[in-house]
Amino acid sequence: MYQLLSAAFLVMVHGMAMDNLKVAYQWQMLSTFVYPTKTARLTAVSNKEYIPENNLPLGLEVYEDRLFITVPRWKPGVAASLAYIKLSDGDVAPQIVSPFRIRADRCGHLWVLDSGHVDIIEETARELTNPKLLIYDLRTDQLLRSYTIPDDQLDKNGSLFANIAVEDNDCENSFAYLADVLRPALVVYSYQAQKSWVVQHHYFNINPLAGEMTVGGITFHWKDGVFGLALSRQDSEGYSTLYFHPMTSFDEFAVSTKILRNENLAKNQTANFHEFKRLGSRGFKGQSGASFLDKKSDVLFFASVHLNAVVCWRTTNPNYTTNPNYTKESHSRVFMSNETMVFPNDIKVDANNTLWVLSNKLPIFMYSRLNYNEYNFRILKGQVADAIKDTACDSKMVVNKKIVDAIKGIVFNKDKQSPSSSEKRHNYIVALLVVLVAILLLR
């Protein structure tokens, strides 16, 4: 892993009422890779091993003092396909060809999904190796495991592994869900069993009506199936809900990992079909790429391609029941900017409740030319609580089920005179406020 100089300027953008993210880093061009010597760098540039304008950051992950970014080999001349920003003693990792996405789990493992492709958007496009899953120990930066996705789990005509979610409820028994956007399919990998299996479902497919997208004045057509993956906190049985959507789609879907983790059931479309649920639609032009679910607030964050925005939706009601309403009305814009949020391409929340978003103008890079006199790539950040303040995703509630249950008792006891439902709600809110104030005062 090379270090990327954070000569990238730290820029503060003065906060607006709602758009509570600020630019942490921005680049005109990824021209700040560190080479061991000046000569090494000059050599790399002169023999075109390194062509700065062909380097575009795509995936993002934050673990302790390091911010990792991936730089896929879209075009020739990519200096390092996995880089990080803070200074540390990283090893060069030549095994990595072209990772799209990475995920650091809470067990200290960095999961790197290597698509195995090089020069993806060039005529010289080729697959160098089968796609691979590489797992690093972040404490030692040693490669713990390299898992090659077997041939029979790939589409011979082309598979493109573009996204990963890791279910790390149990560090000894974690699972990775890998999205093959082209097939489309999910590959489920069991860390314990060291094996994987393919899951296919109609809901992974594209909606042909959603194929046209416009970003930064450029209209293009994509047919990317299942892409956005986000895992909820675990339920009482230890399973999460996987929220997912194809990129070329307006809809959001969900399935329990209880289904995906059961190899036989996961592979049997007849038996599992109805276990996959359609939650609802984001509406026309509601295509979305990356998504991430913050397990502490239960808020799902997702990118909106057309709006140049990050949007949120609460997956649960204040009483921890699943929110059944996935509608435009229940969504809120977290941050929108035609300047700094053009093509939000990865979203993560770190262990300190910081929301991180990487935006990179990808369609302009792919179909036109980036103007290297202006900033093209940005990493924005903000606290989750600030980001969702005053939005539909803000519960304003203390996250503690015991308290909520206690309050329910108070409300129900008061209900004997059968007040109207709006009075009930009023009582409920008053009771909540009283308890919240009491809790704050008692602390």
**Shortest approach of ligand NAG to residue 268 CB, angstroms?**
4
Asked whether the bond before 184 is cis by omega within 30 degrees of 0, the reply is: yes
For ligand NAG, the nearest residue by Cβ is 271
**Shortest approach of ligand NAG to residue 69 CB, angstroms?**
15
The 3-state DSSP composition of the chain as helix, strand, coil percent (nearest 5) reads 20, 35, 45
**Shortest approach of ligand NAG to residue 37 CB, angstroms?**
31
Residue 153 near residue 196, CB atoms below 8 Å: yes
DSSP symbol at 91: P
Q: Quote the CA–CA distance of 71 and 9 in Å, as a whole number.
A: 19
**Shortest approach of ligand NAG to residue 50 CB, angstroms?**
29
Q: Which is nearer to ligand NAG, 173 or 205 (CB)?
A: 205
Specify the pairing of strand 277-281 against strand 291-294.
Answer: unpaired
Residue with tokens 């406020």: 433
Q: Quote the CA–CA distance of 68 and 101 in Å, as a whole number.
A: 10
50 is written with which tokens?
A: 């390194």
361: CB partners within 8 A, 6+ apart: 215, 216, 342, 343, 370, 376, 377
Residue 335 near residue 24, CB atoms below 8 Å: no
**Shortest approach of ligand NAG to residue 271 CB, angstroms?**
3
**Shortest approach of ligand NAG to residue 374 CB, angstroms?**
16
The residue ranges that bind ligand NAG (CB under 6 A) are 62, 64-65, 155-157, 268, 270-271, 308, 317, 319, 321, 324-325, 338, 350-352
Q: Quote the CA–CA distance of 299 and 5 in Å, as a whole number.
A: 33
Phi and psi, residue 53, nearest 5°: -70, -10
Q: Which is nearer to ligand NAG, 132 or 183 (CB)?
A: 183
**Shortest approach of ligand NAG to residue 16 CB, angstroms?**
12
Closest by Cα among 162, 159, 72, 164 to 120: 72
The 10 Å Cβ neighbour count of residue 22 is 17
Give 263: exposed, middle or buried? Use CB within 10 Å, 0-12, 13-18, 19+. Answer: middle
209 is written with which tokens?
A: 């009506």
CA torsion angle for 266, 267, 270, 274 (degrees, to 10)? Answer: 20
**Shortest approach of ligand NAG to residue 301 CB, angstroms?**
17
Residue 183 near residue 159, CB atoms below 8 Å: yes
**Shortest approach of ligand NAG to residue 86 CB, angstroms?**
10
Indicate the SS3 state at residue 218: strand
Q: Which is nearer to ligand NAG, 248 or 308 (CB)?
A: 308
**Shortest approach of ligand NAG to residue 338 CB, angstroms?**
4
Q: Which is nearer to ligand NAG, 321 or 373 (CB)?
A: 321
Q: Which is nearer to ligand NAG, 43 or 88 (CB)?
A: 88
Q: Which is nearer to ligand NAG, 87 or 351 (CB)?
A: 351
Indicate the SS3 state at residue 174: coil
